[in-house]
């Protein structure tokens, strides 16, 4: 998921595009959550894929006890929403289209990577879109719904998220840390030879950035530069006195993987020196379980309110014919996120599909 002030590879240019802590359990094929002795079970095992043909998944557990799900549809033409009282329930939940692309103008192509957030009593969806006449001029946009129920009320287009440069940008997310709201996103920085890096700023309101924007990570290791030099799809979880920011790297084929940044919770998150970058990917394709290109993750919590859950997409095969962006079989998956004795996340490997799952799926009809 170009155009920018500096020539970029066509984009093709950027992309969209369980193991438990310490000695608990090894990944179980087809199951992404299991009981831990002495600890309440969060739920029966999850069967993957959770939702087929949905990439870049984002799951928000709301105060009403429901899980709200959105993701990229493979036609790149709409924003969808599901909800259920359990994570497993999202698989069969009715899907509603809350917004469709325009037929002309700025929000007419490449509708990518929506995220749903509830901020100050209103619902917001952050997503990427491009003009009909320049489909790689991708920028970040915001929808707002003041209704208590996001399936009702009116979704209003609140405009574009304006950053320091008018360049290729996408994958906006937001989080609160020590009373301040931050956005993190991927963008091409003028004068660099990468496709996208991850940036951080603060927000004056759910649509407006305020103050400086700082670069937290840019593609530098070999595993971040396969096919394209990409850091994108940031997601944040805070545990054990640290802030962890995951991001996705490389092309959206089997090379796609997760990287990790870590900061002390007491540090200044706007200081790039506060963040330590892991030199190796933390979540990658796995031949044993048959899952490829795991990435563009988010985090949620299981039904017990305490078990962390990793949400991501992957394909059940390695070889792709043509452009990976035209392959619709990136499926939403979930599994328990473990924690190591040192307090850092243990991602494990992407667990295998259930035994009845086919290896490849046809493009869905809409």
Residues acting as catalytic residues: 56, 232
Give whole-number Cα distances, 263 to 37, 84, 172, 320, in Å. Answer: 31, 33, 20, 37
Half-sphere exposure of 31 (CA within 13 A, CB side): 11
Residue 300, beta-bridge partner list: 309
> For the chain, what is the largest distance between any 2 Cα atoms, rounded to a whole number of angstroms?
59
Question: What is the 8-class DSSP label of residue 45?
Answer: P
Question: Considering only CA atoms, which of 112, 237, 255 is closest in space to residue 171?
Answer: 112
Minimal CA–CA distance to 137: which of 228, 1, 232, 323? 1
Angstrom distance (rounded) from CA 29 to CA 19: 11
For residues 77 and 20, what is the distance between their CA atoms, to the nearest angstrom?
37
CA–CA gap between residue 126 and residue 115 (Å, rounded): 5
- Quote the CA–CA distance of 53 and 60 in Å, as a whole number: 19
| Residue in this structure with the two tokens 């929403």, named with its chain if needed | 81
From the list 203, 311, 190, the residue with the least C-alpha distance to 248 is 311
Question: What does the alpha-carbon distance between residue 232 and residue 245 come to, in Å, rounded to a whole number?
Answer: 11
In this structure, are residues 263 and 324 in contact, taking their beta carbons and an 8 Å threshold? Answer: no
Residue 33 structure tokens: 């959550």
Alpha-carbon distance 63 to 325, whole Å?
35
Tell me the two tokens of residue 104: 């002309």
DSSP 248: E
Exposure string (b/e) for 180-218, b if CB count within 10 Å is 16 or more?
ebbbbbbbbbeebebbbbbbbbbbeebbebeeebeebbb
Helices (H), the chain: none
Q: What is the three-class DSSP state of 15? A: coil
């Amino acid at each position: 998921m170009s155009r920018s002030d500096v020539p970029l590879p066509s984009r093709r240019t950027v992309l969209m595009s369980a193991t438990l802590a310490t000695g608990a359990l090894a990944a179980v094929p087809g199951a992404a959550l299991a009981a831990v002795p002495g600890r309440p079970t969060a739920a029966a095992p999850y069967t993957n894929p959770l939702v087929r043909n949905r990439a870049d998944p984002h799951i928000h557990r709301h105060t009403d006890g429901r899980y709200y799900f959105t993701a990229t549809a493979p036609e790149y033409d709409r924003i969808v929403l599901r909800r259920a009282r359990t994570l497993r329930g999202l698989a069969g939940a009715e899907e509603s289209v809350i917004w469709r692309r325009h037929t002309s103008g700025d929000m007419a192509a490449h509708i990518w990577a929506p995220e749903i957030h509830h901020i100050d009593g209103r619902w917001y969806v952050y997503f990427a879109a491009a003009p009909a006449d320049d489909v790689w001029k991708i920028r970040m946009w915001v929808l707002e719904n003041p209704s208590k129920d996001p399936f009702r009320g009116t979704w209003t287009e609140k405009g574009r998220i304006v950053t320091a440069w008018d360049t290729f940008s996408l994958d906006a997310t937001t989080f609160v840390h020590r009373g301040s709201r931050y956005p993190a996103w991927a963008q091409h920085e003028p004068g660099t030879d990468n496709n996208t890096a991850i940036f951080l700023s603060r927000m004056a309101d759910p649509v407006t950035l305020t103050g400086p924007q700082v670069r937290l990570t840019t593609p530098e290791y070999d595993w971040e530069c396969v096919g394209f030099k990409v850091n994108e799809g940031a997601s944040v979880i805070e545990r054990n006195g640290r802030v962890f920011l995951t991001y996705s790297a490389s092309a959206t084929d089997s090379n796609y993987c997760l990287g990790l940044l870590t900061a002390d919770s007491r540090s200044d998150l706007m200081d790039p020196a506060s963040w330590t970058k892991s030199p190796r990917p933390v979540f990658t394709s796995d031949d044993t379980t048959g899952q490829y290109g795991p990435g563009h993750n988010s985090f949620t919590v299981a039904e017990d309110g305490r078990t962390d859950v990793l949400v991501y997409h992957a394909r059940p095969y390695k070889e792709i014919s043509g452009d990976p962006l035209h392959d619709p079989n990136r499926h939403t998956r979930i599994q328990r996120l473990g924690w190591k004795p040192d307090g850092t996340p243990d991602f494990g490997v992407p667990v295998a599909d259930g035994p009845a799952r086919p290896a490849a799926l046809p493009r869905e009809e809409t």
